[in-house]
Structure 1
Amino acid sequence: MPSTRTWFITGASRGLGRAFTEAALSAGERVVAASRDVAPLGDLAEKYPDDLLRLSLDVADRRAVFETVERAVAFGGRGLDVVVNNAGGLLYGMVEEATEEQIRDHLDVNFFGAVWVAQAVLPHLRARGTGRLLQITSMGTGGGMASVGFYGAGKAALDSVSEALAMEVEQFGVKVTVVQMGGYSTGLFTAGTTATAPDPAYDELRARLAEMWGEDAGPDPSTAAPALMELAGLPDPPRRLILGDRSFDLVQEMDRARAEQYRAWETLSRLAPG
């Protein structure tokens, strides 16, 4: 890896994307920061006028993604080194409540948008024989959770595709890591949320979920940046990484619970050949 790398970060104007952008710039790297609204990055543009390029982008627009990536590749004159596929939002509501338009719009960003970015950057990374693609998913991709089922579905789909992608492009020197993020105070449940029209039939469940989750929004996104910076510099990075101290323990608990359920019903499973 060169001493000064060029990053391409989507969803860069707030939350984790903003934190990763700041961390890379403060480390002396160049960053192409893409977001629907790049105005919130104005302070960083003033502080790093030569090292930050802000590009407006809706990742759901495949043609715009490819055009934006071409501009990003030209920044600095030597191509991209690290791509952080981070753009996303939240569709909050029960499965029954969500409209077709809400579901499709959500997956257009959280799944298809990430795929378009990967497809756009990979020819450049492959041609150079190097590069990192960090696919930002979620610690919850191992199972669904009431009221955020479509968020989990989009991230789980990206998780699975990214595992396949890692196998496909490793031969070209391109390293892909699925970064399963824990819960951080990113504004996802406010500015990044689309909510369904609530059905009163689910009021009791909503109340239980609100009590279970509590008021803790999680740590500041900046606390995740050092680990991601270290990951981006590893010569042999993992294909999958849980990012978050508490989240690591929670994922282990969920995996153990799932394994116990499989064992409890092993006899029924083995009744069928195959």
Structure 2
Amino acid sequence: MQQTAVPPVSTENVLRGEHLSRAYSGVQALSEVSIEIPRGRVTGLIGSNGAGKSTLVNILTGYDTPDQGSVVANGNDVTAMRAERRARFGVARTFQHGHLFGRCTVLENIEVTALACGAGRKSSRQLALDLIDELQLGDWMLHDASGLPHGVERRLGVARALAARPDYVLLDEPAAGLNDGEAEHLRDTMRSVAEREVGVLLIDHNMPLVFSSCDHIFVLGAGKNVLDGTPDVVRHDSRLATSYLGSAAEQIAEGTLE
């Protein structure tokens, strides 16, 4: 794996997956994959379908366990912890498909997450209102979560993850269904969240969003680390084309990919 160009960070301020391997019914989904998500930065994770991204996120957040390797959050080994316990160590995530309370309003969905993470009623309401403002959900605040437009549902998922007041938030395809303006706002939101000393992991197929948002990008291919580095390093590395993007790599390098 290519050496990182990012300055070293304290092990106490990073979510790290170390040499993670996972197989299902003899099919190797991950092989010795390592990744670091430092607090205060936006880290990208890209790869083709089947590269192992979802498996890696599930392992990092406690929804699956590795056959080998470890997960460390803020210096604590959380490998054996289930998702609800891992959340107490500051790890939160969004999901590709829903996981919302359909009969609750957008406001209630965010508020109940804050309450479940130990905030009081008054502070939960204020946090929910602040996140509604930050994620531009005001027009949908009193709508039930069932039947929301796809882009609004994605933004609500991000707001709920942030309501846990995490040290690390892993965003799984948050830009799916967003228009260009919404994607740009999501980029600004991620940068703002990182500035609050939260580690952000962005997993998305929107390459302009990933390359314009992230401080560091990891590329997976066939369940293995292919390369990692700054956006500039990754976009100009020939392994990006061979493992994932094909001719689109050149467009990214030239800044012409829409």
The TM-score by the shorter chain falls in which range? 0.3 to 0.5
Q: Which structure is richer in relative contact order (CA contacts within 8 A, separation 6 or more)?
A: 2
Name the structure where strand makes up a greater proportion of residues: 2
Name the structure where helix makes up a greater proportion of residues: 1
**Structure 2-normalised TM-score?**
0.35
User: Who wins on radius of gyration, i.e. which is larger?
Assistant: 1
